[in-house]
Amino acid sequence: MKAAILEQANKPLIIADVALGNLGPHEVRIRTAACGLCHSDLHYIDGTVAQPMPVVLGHEASGIVEEVGSHVTRFKVGDHVVGCLSVFCGTCSHCISGNLVECSNPEVKHAPGVARRITRDGVHVGQGFNLGAFAEEMLVHENAIVKIRDDMPLDRAALIGCGVLTGTGSVIRTAKVPPGSTVAVIGCGGVGLSAIMGAKMAGALRIIAIDVLPNKLELAKEFGATDVVNAKEVNPVEAVIEMTKGGVNYSFECIGGKATAEQAIRMTGTGGTTTLMGVMPGDMMIEFSGRDLFYRQKKILGCLMGSNQFPTDIPRLCDFYMQGALPLDKMISKRIKLSEINEGFDALKGGNVARSVITFDA
């Protein structure tokens, strides 16, 4: 089968033939239907985040079950599924308390470079995010996927596996935004647009979208933003504080940058909450005022994958889409072939797309 392999940071991905290993008792083999190009993949490609190489990246994926292991009872051949990098064991203290994203059981969530499911010419290739979805097939642990309804379009379902799950979850699960709140979202890519959708679903009264690209700000309005701020034209902190007469109740940073994280904290009003969910380099330090936390009772939250419980969250988000409540059709800027993946990431770096999606039947 064909896969896109990252052999070296800041170099194009190589399309090559790879093979999957034998099916384990708790594993599932999936024919990949679609996979979104996510900024998280880009962080590994450009070397912002270290990753053992060679590796098959890709994690925002959907597909159809081809084969199940001997101990697998929740899936059968032909099931439509969505993958999620929040692989969970279901038995550790994090899992049984409902914090699936915090599971770190190495028996199911292999550290980067540990998984031995993919080979190229007999040599092991890493399985990024325990999924390796930039490939025609995936071999994954059964707790890395969830069954979805058969009438859900698989290209849109793929988006829910990461960007939509993260953005909506950051609002609903992590920050727990109540109706009537004021919200600011910094960064209007796939995750930011999803946070805007989540804020709208939560009943936020005012949703302020912040970006430097006019096309993304226009798209943000279609996803539910009530106001937009172009951070190239004005100081976004000053603009938000003036618009809200003191700052928003909730701010969300969706980029993973030092400057934008600090802006998110500063534009949050007294008693408000800042949620940081952009992927940040491990050595990045964020500066903020201790007086803000003490005297103004601001709160800063970290958010991994929307604090999701994806076995229930993803099917529900599919239902929301089918009912017309999630405008995912507008999020797909372009459908591409696996062979066009490098051009797709160039477009993502240029800020020209919300999401490009690889469709494997194209």
Pairwise CA distance, residues 341 & 338, whole Å: 5
Q: Which residues are catalytic?
A: 38, 40, 43, 59, 162
**Cα distances (Å, whole numbers) of residue 187 to 62, 65, 184, 264, 335:** 25, 35, 10, 11, 22
Choose among 33, 52, 30, 40: nearest CA to 131: 30
Q: Which amino acid is present at 327?
A: P
20: which 2 tokens? 């999957």
Instruction: Give the C-alpha separation, 225 to 218, whole Å.
Output: 9
What CA–CA distance (Å, rounded) separates 117 from 126? 8
Asked if 267 contacts 248 with a C-beta cutoff of 8 angstroms, the reply is: yes
Strands 60-68, 206-211: parallel, antiparallel or unpaired by DSSP?
unpaired
Using an 8 Å Cβ cutoff, are 202 and 174 in contact?
no
* H helices present in 4-119, as ranges: 39-45, 93-96
Rounded CA separation 219/188 (Å): 8
Helix, strand or coil, per DSSP, at residue 354: coil
Nearest to 72 by CA among 147, 135, 130: 147
- State the first-to-last Cα distance of the chain, in angstroms, to the nearest integer: 15
From the list 7, 1, 136, 168, the residue with the least C-alpha distance to 63 is: 136
**316 token code pair:** 């529900």
Inter-CA distances, 14 with 37, 114, 122, 236, Å = 16, 21, 17, 40
> ∠ CA 267-270-249 to the nearest 5 degrees?
60
